[in-house]
């Protein structure tokens, strides 16, 4: 294969490294001393009972959390060895690198084509300047999420008219259009019907060869199906994290064992 | 005699229903009365003549409302030209950018502005705006008393600020957070999110706010009356005086008794006002309802 | 990339300027009125009624206008609330959706009707009935003007009442009448008070509606059939006087009117706290 030493080091080093993350909503502390390593191009599932801060954790990875009023956080988050929490860093570039897929599909108030093209347009991406740049990007991304054949005749129609499963795939296509390195997925299938959920799940699995995926899920069964690595978050603490196999088969912590056995959910 | 509770309930229902209906048809009652009283005028003059003739000589029986209609429209349009962009920009700033303390302070001040009575703003207009217009006109080479369309437009814009801002603000706030998050999540700056997502989603509501502002401005009487000059001629420039319909009614109602058909004429003016304002209010409200329904 | 930063900065500047214009207009209006009016403001103005030649610069004050306006607005708000509260409750508790929608739309139109039209309408009725300008007709006119404001304000607050509150009342065997007037009303008392106070502010300052219906007078009215002086008209007529001394007093009268309006506004804000004792959050 012939990777240079540098490339090998990059490939083996964690993509995202979270150090001592503490998050407060006003006076309530939601995340305590979270330390995480997220490997490159694998699916890292964040599991745990609802209300434990999983979504908060996800949104701090690309600094989307700052949009919410009253949030205070302190930490270092290294993406490719660069601390993204540093004030001199361009926040919009980080969000391009790690793109968020929300739990409820949130299409923008525009046509399907404009939804996908939105990311590249606002970031002034090079690709748009090529002839057929926009259409090329739109087609490529819609194909990767399996939407192309379903919507090719109504690209100028409003995105809001799609079914909810299609909308979520659109949001995925939209995220891919900005050429991210990673996808942060907040329970991406929980709002969908079983058939669409299955489709999206398989889609994300196939994308994990090219993108780092951080996947928040509250169903253990899904986690078992998809995860390469697992992070167990409970009451704002990281209780345990590690490769999926050892996590599910031989958990170290008592709380983990209890959760896996369904003692609470 | 003790009335049972269910009987009281029934009685209330029986009494309140006609009351509610009565209030609801109030608009039509007013319209009907005004129409009935305008009838003598409408019988002896063609509608076209009334609306498009510039000849206004009541003592000779000539009632051409054209100058008044044009005057009203000009002042209203001018005020909305000022108010539109200013209100949208202010609303976006207040709802999207301002820190909470600043937002609360600005909103309180806008509420206060809303409460200032028309006469007081008119008084201020006479003190400040009219001389200012005179001053500005002298630079442009016009000589004017300052009582002009421009003065009316400025004063009217100030009166309209609070209502347009409050409707626009509400519409902007209704854009769901998930949409803003989606935009930011793709790497948009705050301004890009505001420009391409928030304002776009609110466009219908903003239009409704402007329509409602227009209707408010159209009927505003005292402040405009005090600064606009009240000369019954079609204004040929912004520095010329105008005579809007509300001012006509307010100024001349005293003459009603002495000149025949004058009462019909003034009530016809009132009817015109009613129809235009009602039409715009309805339009604005219906647009708002449609916008709300679409986002539900 | 520079393009988008430049654009953002440009619009930031525009937005701030626009906000300054709006806030500035408030400050300039109030500021100029106070500066111009303060010299002429005196205790006499608020404690004495006008003498015969007041508008020509004669002695006296505008107590007649102050009391006149207060009488007028008290009467109007009284009528408007008496009609408005039950109608608002009816629309929310009893009426079917069709009537409610029609009523709300209709009230929106009424809300937007300029006060001069109300004045012209009332004036027409006065002519038909052979009535003369009086306090009574002023009360009727302003009541019409203010009724949509009251109904809409109360309607909006009632709509925020959670249905479980009503359910609780019904499940204890209450009738709709009792639920509406005893439970819902208690819950929205702060909202009602705020609405009424805001309507007070709106009604007391309106000139166009009283111009045609109420006349003017130098004395405080003793009966509903007397013409009465009102603050907005006092300002208007004093401004129109050829004597500078009278004009000065117009500005002072404006301060007094502003003062009353601000008082109502501030009272509206504080009433929420005072009346919220039993309100469920």
CA distance A217 to A45: 7
Subunits close to A (at least 3 CB pairs below 8 A): B, C
The CATH number of whichever domain residue C186 belongs to comes to 1.10.3720.10
- Binary contact (C22, B110; C-beta < 8 A): yes
Q: Do the domain assignments include residue C280?
A: no
Looking at domain B69-295, its CATH class is mainly alpha
Q: Are residues C57 and C34 in the same domain?
A: no
Same domain for C252 and C114: yes
Whether residue C144 sits in one domain with residue C183:
yes
Contacts of B222 in chain C (CB under 8 A): 207-208, 232, 236
More confident residue, A58 or A131: A58
Q: Which of residues 222-281 of C touch B (CB under 8 A)?
A: 232, 235-236, 239, 250-251, 254, 257-258, 261-262, 264-265
Closest CA to B163 of B230, B204, B119, B217: B217
Is the same domain home to C151 and C186?
A: yes
Asked if the C-beta of B81 comes within 8 angstroms of chain A's C-beta atoms, the answer is no
pLDDT reading at B1 higher than 60: no
Note down the domain range covering C24. 2-39
Cβ atoms of A83 and A77 closer than 8 Å: yes
Q: How far apart are alpha carbons C57 and B109 in whole angstroms?
A: 35
What digits encode the pLDDT tens for the residues C87-141? 998 888 877 788 888 999 999 999 999 999 999 999 999 988 988 889 999 999 9
A137: chain B residues, CB-CB within 8 Å: none
pLDDT band at residue A129, thresholds of 50, 70 and 90? confident
Q: Answer yes or no: is pLDDT of A2 > 70.
A: no
- Work out the mean pLDDT of chain B and round it to a whole number: 90
DSSP E strand boundaries for chain A: 16-25, 28-38, 43-47, 71-79, 82-83, 98-101, 182-186, 212-216, 229-234, 237-243
Pick left, alpha or beta for residue A228 (phi over 0 → left; psi -120 to 50 → alpha; otherwise beta).
alpha
For residues C9 and C120, membership in a common domain is answered with: no
Residue A1 has pLDDT above 60, yes or no: no
pLDDT class of A6 with cuts at 50, 70, 90:
low
Domain shared by C197 and C246, yes or no? yes
Q: Do C20 and C100 sit in the same domain of this protein?
A: no
C28-76: pLDDT as tens digits: 999 999 999 898 888 888 888 777 777 777 778 888 899 999 999 999 9
Residue C90 lies in a domain: yes
Does the CA dihedral B197-B201-B206-B211 come out positive or negative?
Answer: positive
The string of DSSP letters for A91-138 reads HHHHHHHEEEE-SS----SSBHHHHHHHHHHHTT-GGGGSTTHHHHHH
Residue A231 forms beta bridges with which residues?
A46, A241
| The total number of structural domains that make up chain C | 2
Q: What is the pLDDT of residue C18?
A: 96
Residues of chain A with pLDDT > 90: what percent?
38
CB B219 within 8 A of CB B273: yes
Q: Is C160 in the same domain as C78?
A: yes
Is pLDDT of B229 > 70?
yes
Instruction: Give the chain C residue whose CA is nearest to the CA of B275.
Output: C113
What's the rounded Cα separation, in Å, for the pair C11 and C13?
5
Same domain assignment for residues C68 and C12: no
- The predicted-structure confidence for B15-53, as pLDDT tens digits, reads as follows 888 888 888 888 999 999 999 988 888 888 888 888 888
Whether C73 and C136 share a structural domain = yes
Average pLDDT, chain C: 88
pLDDT value, residue B2: 64
**Position A150 pLDDT exceeds 60:** yes
Tell me if chain C has a CB within 8 Å of the CB of A109.
no
Task: Kindly determine whether residue C208 and residue B267, on different chains, have CB atoms separated by under 8 Å.
Answer: no
Position C25 scores a pLDDT of 95
* Full-model pTM: 0.87
On whether both C210 and C258 belong to a single domain, the answer is yes
Report d(CA C72, CA C249) in Å as an integer: 22
- Within an 8 Å CB–CB cutoff, is residue C105 touching chain B? yes
The band of B54, judged by pLDDT with boundaries at 50, 70 and 90, is confident
Please tell me whether residues C66 and C178 are part of one structural domain.
yes
Q: Domains in chain A, start-ordered, CATH in brackets?
A: 5-260 (3.40.50.300)
ipTM confidence: 0.91
């Amino acid at each position: 294969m012939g990777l240079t030493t540098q490339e090998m080091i990059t490939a083996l080093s964690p993509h995202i490294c979270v150090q001592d993350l503490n998050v407060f909503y006003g006076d309530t502390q939601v995340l305590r001393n979270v330390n995480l390593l997220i490997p490159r191009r694998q699916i890292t599932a964040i599991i745990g009972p609802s209300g434990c801060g999983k979504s908060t954790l996800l949104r701090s990875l690309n600094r989307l959390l700052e949009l919410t009023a009253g949030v205070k956080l302190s930490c270092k988050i290294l993406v490719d060895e660069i601390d993204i929490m540093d004030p001199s860093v361009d926040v919009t570039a980080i969000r391009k690198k790690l793109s968020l897929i929300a739990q409820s599909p949130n299409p923008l108030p525009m046509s399907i084509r404009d939804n996908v093209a939105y990311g590249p347009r606002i970031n002034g991406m090079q690709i748009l300047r090529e002839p057929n740049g926009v259409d090329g990007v739109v087609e490529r991304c819609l194909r990767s999420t399996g939407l192309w054949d379903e919507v090719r005749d109504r690209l100028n129609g409003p995105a809001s008219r799609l079914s909810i499963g299609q909308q979520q795939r659109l949001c995925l296509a939209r995220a891919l259009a900005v050429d991210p390195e990673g996808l942060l997925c907040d329970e991406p299938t929980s709002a969908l019907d079983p058939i669409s959920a299955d489709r999206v799940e398989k889609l994300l699995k196939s994308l994990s060869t090219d993108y780092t995926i951080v996947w928040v899920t509250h169903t253990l069964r899904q986690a078992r199906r998809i995860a390469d690595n697992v992070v167990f978050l409970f009451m704002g603490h990281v209780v345990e994290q590690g490769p999926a196999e050892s996590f599910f088969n031989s958990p170290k912590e008592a709380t983990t064992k209890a959760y896996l056995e369904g003692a609470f959910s | 005699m003790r009335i049972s509770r269910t009987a009281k309930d029934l009685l209330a229902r029986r009494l309140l229903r006609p009351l509610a209906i009565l209030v609801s048809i109030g608009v039509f009652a007013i319209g009907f009365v005004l129409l009935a009283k305008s009838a003598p005028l409408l019988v002896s003059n063609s509608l076209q003549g009334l609306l498009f003739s510039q000849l206004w000589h009541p003592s000779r029986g000539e009632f051409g409302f054209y100058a008044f209609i044009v005057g009203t429209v000009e002042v209203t349009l001018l005020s909305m030209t000022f108010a539109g962009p200013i209100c949208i920009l202010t609303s976006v700033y207040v709802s999207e950018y301002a820190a909470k303390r600043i937002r609360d302070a600005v909103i309180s001040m806008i509420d206060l502005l809303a409460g200032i009575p028309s006469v007081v703003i008119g008084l201020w207009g006479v003190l400040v705006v009219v001389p200012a217009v005179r001053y500005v006109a002298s630079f442009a080479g016009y000589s004017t008393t300052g009582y002009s369309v421009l003065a009316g437009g400025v004063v009217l814009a100030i009166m309209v600020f609070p209502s347009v801002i409050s409707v626009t603000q509400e519409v902007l706030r209704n854009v769901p957070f998930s949409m803003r998050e989606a935009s930011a999540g793709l790497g948009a700056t705050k301004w890009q999110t505001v420009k391409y997502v928030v304002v776009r989603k609110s466009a219908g509501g903003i239009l409704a706010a402007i329509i409602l502002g227009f209707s408010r401005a159209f009927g505003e009487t005292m402040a405009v009356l005090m600064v606009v000059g009240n000369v019954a001629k079609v204004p040929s420039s912004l520095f010329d005086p105008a005579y809007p319909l509300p001012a006509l009614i307010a100024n001349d109602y005293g003459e009603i008794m002495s000149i025949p058909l004058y009462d019909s004429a003034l009530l016809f003016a009132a009817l015109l006002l009613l129809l235009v304002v009602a039409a715009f209010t309805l339009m604005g409200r219906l647009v708002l309802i449609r916008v709300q329904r679409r986002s539900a | 990339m520079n393009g988008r930063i430049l654009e953002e900065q440009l619009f930031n500047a525009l937005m701030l300027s626009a906000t300054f214009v709006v806030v500035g207009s408030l400050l300039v209006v109030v500021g100029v009125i106070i500066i111009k009016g303060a010299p002429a403001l005196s205790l006499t103005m608020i404690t004495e009624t006008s003498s015969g030649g007041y508008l020509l610069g004669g002695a006296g004050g505008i107590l007649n206008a102050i009391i006149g306006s207060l009488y007028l607005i008290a009467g109007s708000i009284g009528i408007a609330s008496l009609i408005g509260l039950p109608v608002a409750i009816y629309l929310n508790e009893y009426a079917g959706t069709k009537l409610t929608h029609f009523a709300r739309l209709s009230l929106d139109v009424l809300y937007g009707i300029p006060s001069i039209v109300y004045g012209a309408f009332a004036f027409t009725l006065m002519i038909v009935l052979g009535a003369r300008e009086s306090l009574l007709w002023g009360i009727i006119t302003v009541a019409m003007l203010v009724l949509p404001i009251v109904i809409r304000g109360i309607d909006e607050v009632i709509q925020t009442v959670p249905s479980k509150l009503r359910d609780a009342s019904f499940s204890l065997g209450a009738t709709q009448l009792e639920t509406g007037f005893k439970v819902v009303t208690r819950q929205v008392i702060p909202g009602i008070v705020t609405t009424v106070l805001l309507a007070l502010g709106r009604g007391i300052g309106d000139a166009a509606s009283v111009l045609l219906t109420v006349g003017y007078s130098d004395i405080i009215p003793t009966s509903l059939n007397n013409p009465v002086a009102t603050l907005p008209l006092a300002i208007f007529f004093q401004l129109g006087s050829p004597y500078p001394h009278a004009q000065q007093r117009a500005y002072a009268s404006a301060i007094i009117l502003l003062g009353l309006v601000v008082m109502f506004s501030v009272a509206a804000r504080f009433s929420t706290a005072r009346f919220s004792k039993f309100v469920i959050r």
